[in-house]
Copies of this chain bind each other. A is one copy, B any other.
Amino acid sequence: MEATDRKILHLLAADGRMSYTDLGKATGLSTSAVHQRVKRLEQRGLIQGYGAALNHAELGLPLTAFVAIRPMDPSQPDDCPERVSGFTEIESCWSVAGDDSYILKVRTATPAALEELLAQIRSAANVSTRTTIALSTYYENRPVTEG
């Protein structure tokens, strides 16, 4: 991994629709050289995909919350991520060190929808939940790269 590839990754993280022509201009490479590098970065899994960042507040999902979960019965198989993966309100799922086993980031339309989702998560995964509601988002998913 060297400087040119890192520059390409940084540019694509900031603008996922940038054309190969523009990436070439920005890196001093020809269009086809950049193209080859991007395909290789995709194949090696360094680029995992491309997405549009949506304005969830305007799209009917104004409520963002973090749900910390803890198994009720620590002796049971610990397959919470699979058990909850079908809930489309869950945007992210991490296992974490500390008092809780997992943290979920969820988006719902209303407090009532969040209440309903929490009940479903608890019964699907046999867990207790501790929820932290986001009041406002200052920034989210800024590109973070090394170098």
By a beta-carbon cutoff of 8 Å, the part of chain A in contact with chain B is 1, 9, 12-17, 44-56, 58-61, 64, 66, 81, 85, 88-98, 100, 103, 107, 109, 132-147
- 21 A-B pairs in the complex with CB atoms less than 8 angstroms apart: A1-B59, A9-B59, A17-B50, A44-B58, A47-B53, A48-B54, A51-B51, A51-B53, A56-B144, A59-B146, A66-B66, A81-B138, A85-B139, A88-B144, A90-B139, A91-B141, A91-B142, A94-B137, A98-B132, A98-B133, A141-B141
Instruction: Tell me whether A50 and B48 are in contact (CB under 8 A).
Output: no
Among all A-B residue pairs, the 4 with the closest Cβ atoms: A16-B50, A12-B52, A81-B138, A93-B138
Of B15, B45, B135, the residue contacting A58 (CB under 8 A) is B45
Instruction: Tell me whether B54 and A53 are in contact (CB under 8 A).
Output: no
Q: Tell me, in angstroms, the Cα distance from A142 to B81 when the chains sit together.
A: 13
Instruction: Tell me whether B97 and A135 are in contact (CB under 8 A).
Output: yes
Nearest residue in B to A13 (C-beta to C-beta)? B52
